[in-house]
Structure 1
Amino acid sequence: MEHCSDLVLIRTHGLSTRGQTQPGGVRRVGGRGSTPRWFPGGSGSHRTDRGRRLSYNQGVVSWEEWVSLYNKLEKTGLNGFGCGSTAEQITDGLDLSDRTFLLTGCSAEIGLETLRVLTLRGARVIATARTLDAAAAACAGLGPAPGEGVPMACDLSEPSSIRALVAELRSNGTVLSGIVANEVVMAPSERIVRHGLELQFLVNHVGHFLLVAGMLDRLTFDARVVVVSSPAHRWSWPEGLRLDDLAAEREYSAWSAYGQSKLANLLFARHLAERLAPDQTANSLHQGEVRVAVPRPGGLAAGLMQDLSGVLGSRPAPGGAATQCYLVAHPSAAKITGQYLADCNPIPTSAHGSDDGLAVALWERTEEIVARLG
C-alpha cells in the first residue's frame, strides 16, 4: 500500500485495535451555501501497546485532531454536543415521523448506525447499497422501530444505476427531507479507472453529485444535504484538485487520490450551499472515527495526543454517526450551511477546502463529466 506523505492515522478502539495503525471555515450561518481500510504506518510510527503508546519524533498536529482532543476533554461544544455524543443522544426526543431521508452506504458500520437511529426516531429512510441484497439485509436487521428502512440498490460507480434510482424515486413521488452521502471507497492499492475517472473520485464525488443533482427539485423547502468528507481532504495533491487528470494517469497515490475525493466532497457541499433555497442547507463533515493524526515523523504534541487519546478511548459507530445525524435532523443545525463539522461542531478546513474559486471550478468540471456520462 502507499505511504501517505503527511499523516499516519492511529485509530484506537481500546483492546480491539491491538495497537495497529490504520486510516481513518466557518463561513456563514443561514446563508445559501475491494477497499483496503488499514493505513500503513510510516517511519516514526510503531505498533502500540493496545493503541495506548506510540514512539514519536518531531512533527505537527492537524487542527481537526486538536479540536477532537479538546472536545474529548471538554465533552461538548457550544451546541451541547461533542466527541462523547452518540447519534442516539443527539436525536433523543426528536419525532422524525414526517421525514424521509436518503442514505447511501447503509450496509456497514456508520451507515448502519445512521439508518438505525433515524428509523428509531420514526423516519422513513431510503437505504441504498451497491446491491439490493446488501441494502435489504441492513434494513432487515433493524428490528422493531417506529420508522422504516426502504432498501434500494445504487452502485455509485455506475451512472446508469444512479439514474435508475433517481428515476424510481421520482416516479413514486418521493420528496426528501435530507440526503446523507455516506458511501465511500477508500485507497485501493492499484489505480482503478471506470468511465474515464479514478474510482475514488467517481464514487465518492461524481456518483454523489449525480444522485443529489437528480433529486434537488424533490427536496422539501427546509431539506438538508450532508456529505461525508474527512481530514484526509488535506492529503490531496499540492494544487488541491487535478481537474485535468481525474483518471490519475500522470501518477497514482492511493491516499492522495482519496484525499482529492474527500476535498471534492467538502467543496461540493460548500458550493451547493450557495445554490440551495434560503431554508435548505448543505454541509460536509468528518465522522470522527479516526481520533489522532501523528505526522511522519511524529512530534511531542502528536505523541501526547496519541497517549491521551488511547487513555480516553475513541468512537465506535454510535459516535461516528453522531455528526451526520446532527446535521440532517437536529433543530439547532437548521441554520448551519456551507460548513465543515467534526464532533457536531464547525471547524476550519484546509486552505483548499475554503477556496470558493476551486469549488466553482470543481462544480463546472463535474457538470461536464455528468453530461459526458449521459
Structure 2
Amino acid sequence: MPDLLRRHLLWTGALAPLALALPSPARAQVPPAPAALSAGSTAEQATAGLDLRGRTILVTGCNSGIGLETMRVLALRGAHVIGTARTSDKGKAACASVSGRATPVVLDLADVRSVRDCAAQVHQLAPRLDALVCNAGIVLDDWEKVDGLEKQFVVNHLGHFLLAEQLLDRVVAAQGRVIVLGSGDHRNAPAGGIQFARLSGEGWYRRGYSHSKLANGLFSLELARRLQGTGATSNCVTPGHTRTAILRNSGNNYREDARTPAQGAATPCYAAVHPAMAGVSGAYLRDFTAGEQSAQQQDAAMAARLWAVSHELVARNA
C-alpha cells in the first residue's frame, strides 16, 4: 500500500487497528524558551522578530479573547490567518479589525455539518496549513446536550477533533503544527477520566469543562502519536487563567490575577510558530515550558480509545 494512502486511511480511522500498533512516542522534550520569555509575556513578545510571510494558519474562535489576539499577532507577523467564528458577521468584523491578511470562515463546532462545510471551504482556500490552532471553547454552568452528548465535550473537543481530522492532509502537506488549547483544569475531570459510558453528562455535567479539557489533552497526545514520521506535530497548551468572554455563561467569575488576552495568547502563538518548537510533538505547555499534568492526561490507552470513540461519533452524524 502506498505510504500516503496508508496515512490517509490511518487518519480517517479505516486502519484504526494498525494505528493502535504504532509505538507510543517518547515523552516530549520541550526545549528552553528564549530568556526574554516568561509568565506574563505577551503574544507580540513571543513572536518578536518572526517573519511569517508565506504561512497559512487557521485559528478557531477568532472573534474574541485569545483567538482574536492570536489572529491579530500572527497576521501582524505576516501570516495569512483563516479565522473561524460561529457567525459570518462576527468573523467578518474580527478579520476586518486586524492589520494584515485575515479571511473569515463560518464554523459552529456544535454542528457536524458546519464543521464539514468549514473544512471544505478551507480546502478551497489553502493547499497547506502551517498551523491549526484549536482555540474556540465554551464554559457552561448548566446541563446542555447536543445530539445526546454533553455540550462542552461536543464544542471543546469533538468539533475540533472532526475539524482536525478533515484538515490533516493540509497540515501534513506543510509539515505543520496542530495546537490544541487545553487547561490546567483538566485535573478536575470526573473520577476515571473520560466518561465513555455516560457521554450525555449524566452525573458529572458540573465538571463538564474539566472533562472537555482532559479530552483536548488526550486528543493532542494521540494525534502526536499518529503523526509520527510525517514531519507534522501536535501539542497541547494551556493559556493560563485569562479574562475573556468564555465565562459569560457562568457569572464572569475571574480571579484578580487573571491574565490579559495578550498574555493568554502568548504560549499558543509560541507553540504555533516559534522555531524553538520545531519538531516538538506530544507536549503539554504552560508559559513556554512543559506544564504539570495529571496521570490521566498522559494515559495513552485512554487517548487511543477517545480517538476511536470520537471518530465513531462524528461518523454517526455524517
Normalising TM by the smaller chain, what interval?
A: 0.7 to 0.9
Distance 1:314 1:248, change over 3 A: closer
CA contact (8 A) 2:33 2:276 kept: no
Q: In the alignment, which residue of structure 1 is the partner of 2:85?
A: 129
Q: In the alignment, which residue of structure 1 is the partner of 2:284?
A: 340
CA contact (8 A) 2:129 2:174 kept: no
**For residues 278 and 169 of structure 1, what CA distance do their matches in structure 2 show?**
21
Q: In the alignment, which residue of structure 1 is the partner of 2:212?
A: 261
Q: In the alignment, which residue of structure 1 is the partner of 2:55?
A: 99
CA contact (8 A) 1:103 1:181 kept: yes
Aligned-residue offset at 1:169: 1.8
What letter is aligned with 1:180?
A: V
**For residues 288 and 212 of structure 2, what CA distance do their matches in structure 1 show?**
22
CA contact (8 A) 1:175 1:218 kept: yes
Q: In the alignment, which residue of structure 1 is the partner of 2:270?
A: 326
SS of the equivalent of 1:176 reads coil
**For residues 66 and 126 of structure 2, what CA distance do their matches in structure 1 show?**
28
Q: In the alignment, which residue of structure 1 is the partner of 2:7?
A: none
CA contact (8 A) 1:29 1:335 kept: no
CA contact (8 A) 2:107 2:114 kept: yes
2:121 pairs with 1:168: yes
- What's the TM-score once normalised by structure 2's chain length? 0.83
Aligned-residue offset at 1:222: 2.2
In the TM superposition, what whole-angstrom CA distance separates every residue of 1:215-267 from its partner, at most 9, and x where no partner exists? 11112342000000001101111101101111113x1432x111110000000
**For residues 203 and 86 of structure 1, what CA distance do their matches in structure 2 show?**
27
Task: Give me the CA root mean square deviation.
Answer: 2.0
2:163 pairs with 1:207: no
Aligned-residue offset at 1:189: 2.3
Q: Structure 2: which 5+ residue stretches go unaligned?
A: 1-25, 244-254
Which of structures 1 and 2 has the larger relative contact order (alpha carbons within 8 angstroms, sep 6+)?
A: 1
Distance 1:172 1:320, change over 3 A: closer
SS of the equivalent of 1:350 reads coil
Q: In the alignment, which residue of structure 1 is the partner of 2:16?
A: none
Aligned-residue offset at 1:314: 5.0
Over the matched positions of the two proteins, sequence identity in percent amounts to: 42
Q: In the alignment, which residue of structure 2 is the partner of 1:234?
A: 187
What letter is aligned with 1:112?
A: L
CA contact (8 A) 1:178 1:224 kept: yes
Distance 1:263 1:120, change over 3 A: same
Distance 1:330 1:78, change over 3 A: closer
Q: In the alignment, which residue of structure 2 is the partner of 1:23?
A: none
Q: Structure 1: which 5+ residue stretches go unaligned?
A: 1-25, 31-76, 292-308
Which residue among 100, 108, 125 is the counterpart of 2:64? 108
Aligned-residue offset at 1:290: 5.0
Distance 1:79 1:271, change over 3 A: farther
CA contact (8 A) 1:126 1:149 kept: yes
2:48 pairs with 1:28: no
Aligned-residue offset at 1:78: 4.7
Q: In the alignment, which residue of structure 2 is the partner of 1:352?
A: 296
What pairs with 1:1-374 in structure 2 (closer than 5 Å)?
27-29=27-29, 78-80=33-35, 81-142=37-98, 145=99, 147-186=100-139, 188-219=140-171, 220-249=173-202, 251-254=203-206, 256-276=207-227, 277-290=229-242, 314-374=258-318
Aligned-residue offset at 1:148: 0.8
What letter is aligned with 1:111?
A: G
What letter is aligned with 1:245?
A: R
CA contact (8 A) 2:242 2:264 kept: no
What letter is aligned with 1:372?
A: R
**For residues 263 and 125 of structure 2, what CA distance do their matches in structure 1 show?**
34
SS of the equivalent of 1:326 reads helix
Aligned-residue offset at 1:335: 2.2
CA contact (8 A) 1:191 1:252 kept: no
- Bigger drift between 123-132 and 213-222 goes to 213-222
Aligned-residue offset at 1:198: 0.7
Aligned-residue offset at 1:274: 0.8
Distance 1:121 1:172, change over 3 A: closer
CA contact (8 A) 1:87 1:326 kept: yes
In the TM superposition, what whole-angstrom CA distance separates every residue of 1:39-72 from its partner, at most 9, and x where no partner exists? xxxxxxxxxxxxxxxxxxxxxxxxxxxxxxxxxx
Aligned-residue offset at 1:173: 4.5
**For residues 275 and 286 of structure 2, what CA distance do their matches in structure 1 show?**
17
What letter is aligned with 1:27?
A: R
- What's the TM-score once normalised by structure 1's chain length? 0.71
Aligned-residue offset at 1:29: 3.9
